[in-house]
Amino acid sequence: MTRIHNFSAGPATLPLEVLETAAQELVDYQGNGLSVMEMSHRSSAYEAIIKQTERDIRTLANIPEDYAVLFLQGGATLQFSMVPMNLSVKGKADFLITGHWAQKAAQEAQKYTDARVIASSEDLQFTAIPTFSAQDFRNDADYVHICENNTIYGTQFHALPDTGKVPLVADQSSCIFSKPLDIARYGLIYTGAQKNIGPAGLTLVIIRKDLIRKDLPEATPLLLRYDTHLGSDSMYNTPPTYAIYITGLVVRWLLDNGGLEAARARNEKKAALLYKTLDESRLFRGTADRGSRSLMNVTFLTGDEQKDADFIKMAAKRGIQGIKGYRTVGGMRASLYNALPYEAVEALCEAMKDFEREQPC
């Protein structure tokens, strides 16, 4: 079996060990005589899967009992609406705009609350995290929202904003569980699973329980209330059962391979190699400001669209796929998520060097 080097930004690569376990259990899950995909979510076998997945997530990220772990659907995009619908009490929310998805979150929140942009790096084409201070945030805001890692532009917060007593809400869709998590710094974290911890279909929400309101307007749809999902153990309706199962296997894989400290070390090693190659190259250059560089998504280009396209074709012939940049920005993007092996980054760097040697001086 030959597997490609999959640098896709999502759905993304999964650990080979996880895929092999899933393959072994696909037809008959642990002697139950059926696949997890066929199981009733109310069965004792599936109840054991979802409860174990939550326990392992809590262990992996050291999540205390005063935070709820919710298994939802709708992707991170649905959270752009659910967050303001559920957290707006005073009708104010502050946003740091670092890219496309942060903009989308602010635009959607504006339908439900006074969504104020505190700082934006749009004038820099989102190549850096914008500058701001703690004094910029409103003390009476319901929450402050950030997109912690920016998949499209290759930037990342390396220090969380000081929001005081105002809850910090973070979209961690492309960086969740890539490094140790100081959960006490957040009021709410949401993430689509399909980039770093599982397949498409599952949205993970980690929320401080005191933020889960029961006094929402009567017109609030039941499935868009966090208290609905908390009160039903994430099974008010049929959850994305197979996505949760696979995510549970990925979380167990992370635990078995040293936890989040080890994940950070592996991710830093991968990123260091690729950034070193870029910094030493006479042809390729990274697009993100050095102080804002992401460990998860490395964006780069040659400055010549035809050469970019030629390199992408050359890399594909070597089994390197998923490096084409986001459609609105072009260039290349290499996503270095948890499951991507170091050897894949080595292969990409070698391809870059070989392509560069072929170019005229």
- Measured CA to CA, the distance from residue 139 to residue 147 in angstroms comes to 20
Which is catalytic among the residues 56, 94, 171, 308?
171
Q: Is the pLDDT reported for residue 327 higher than 90? A: no
Query: Do strands 149-150 and 168-171 pair parallel, antiparallel, or not at all (unpaired)?
Result: unpaired
- Measured CA to CA, the distance from residue 308 to residue 241 in angstroms comes to 40
- Measured CA to CA, the distance from residue 251 to residue 216 in angstroms comes to 33
Annotation marks residue 111 as catalytic = no
Round to the nearest angstrom and report the end-to-end CA distance of the chain: 39
Q: Quick one: fold of 260-358?
A: Aspartate Aminotransferase, domain 1 (3.90.1150)
The mean pLDDT of the chain is: 97
Summarize pLDDT for 276-311 with one digit per residue, the tens: 999 999 999 999 999 999 999 999 999 999 999 999
Binned at pLDDT 50, 70 and 90, residue 338 comes out as: very high
Summarize pLDDT for 64-88 with one digit per residue, the tens: 999 999 999 999 999 999 999 999 9
- Measured CA to CA, the distance from residue 173 to residue 191 in angstroms comes to 4
Q: Write the CB contacts of 35 (distance below 8 Å, at least 6 apart in sequence).
A: 25, 26, 27, 28, 29
Which is catalytic among the residues 94, 101, 142, 270?
101
Summarize pLDDT for 110-152 with one digit per residue, the tens: 999 999 999 999 999 999 999 999 999 999 999 999 999 999 9
Q: Is the pLDDT reported for residue 360 higher than 90? A: no
Q: Is the pLDDT reported for residue 89 higher than 80? A: yes
| Percent of the chain topping pLDDT 90 | 98
Binned at pLDDT 50, 70 and 90, residue 7 comes out as: very high
Structure pTM? 0.97
Nearest partner of 102 among 113, 87, 117, judged by Cα: 117
Which residue type occupies 319?
A: G
Is residue 322 within 8 A of residue 194, CB to CB? The reply is: no
Annotation marks residue 101 as catalytic = yes
Is residue 127 within 8 A of residue 292, CB to CB? The reply is: yes
Is residue 154 within 8 A of residue 299, CB to CB? The reply is: yes
CATH no. of 16-256: 3.40.640.10
Question: In the chain, which segments carry CATH 3.40.640.10?
Answer: 16-256
| Percent of the chain topping pLDDT 70 | 99
Q: How many CA atoms lie within 13 A of 51 on its CB side?
A: 8
Question: In the chain, which segments carry CATH 3.90.1150.10?
Answer: 260-358
Q: Is the pLDDT reported for residue 1 higher than 80? A: no
What pLDDT is attached to residue 79?
98
Which is catalytic among the residues 56, 94, 195, 324?
195
Binned at pLDDT 50, 70 and 90, residue 318 comes out as: very high
What pLDDT is attached to residue 328?
84
Binned at pLDDT 50, 70 and 90, residue 361 comes out as: low
Annotation marks residue 195 as catalytic = yes
What pLDDT is attached to residue 359?
87
How far, rounded to the nearest angstrom, does the alpha carbon of residue 273 sit from its chain's CA centroid? 22
Summarize pLDDT for 227-272 with one digit per residue, the tens: 999 999 999 999 999 999 999 999 999 999 999 999 999 999 999 9
